[in-house]
Amino acid sequence: MGIWTAMQISKLVYYILTTHLLGFSACCRSVQFTHDVRDKVLENHVIKSVQVPDKDKCEISCYQEPNCVSYNYGPAQSESPVCELNDRNHEQVTSSDLVSRQGYIYRQILVRNALASVPFLPSFSLT
């Protein structure tokens, strides 16, 4: 491990304050949603289910839930659609968990920990 500069230390302190002490953990999660898979849902991996007014609110709910990596939304034309947040995506489970459900949308997200690409943090291990 090299010598840390004052700038690296101050940025690390800022990260610790914003993510752990102040609870802004979302600042370090970069999310990009994939395309909609219509008339499909992922079963057996729902960690939270909420009623939402639209798909955008479901995406926001998934973004705010650190363990969410995919969601089911629907029925799309309903007055009270349900947003089911999943802790797995269809690539992490058996194909039998991705099932047909008319009027629903399944959507996977790509999650990248923003800290992995922060150039000011030197490599180190806690073990």
Q: Which CATH architecture has domain 32-112?
A: 3-Layer(bba) Sandwich (3.50)
Query: pTM surpassing 0.95?
Result: no
pLDDT category at 124 given cuts 50, 70, 90 is very low
| Residue extents of the structural domains in the chain | 32-112
Distance between CA atoms of 10 and 112, rounded to whole angstroms? 23
Condensed to tens digits (0 to 9), the pLDDT of residues 25-59 reads 445 667 788 999 999 999 999 999 999 999 999 99
Distance between CA atoms of 115 and 103, rounded to whole angstroms? 37
SS (H, E, C) 39-69: EEEECCCEEEEEECCCHHHHHHHHHHCCCCC
SS3 for 10?
Answer: helix
Distance between CA atoms of 89 and 17, rounded to whole angstroms? 31
Q: What is the mean pLDDT of the chain?
A: 79
H or E segment and range at residue 70: strand 70-74
Residue pair 71/58 in contact by the 8 Å Cβ criterion: yes
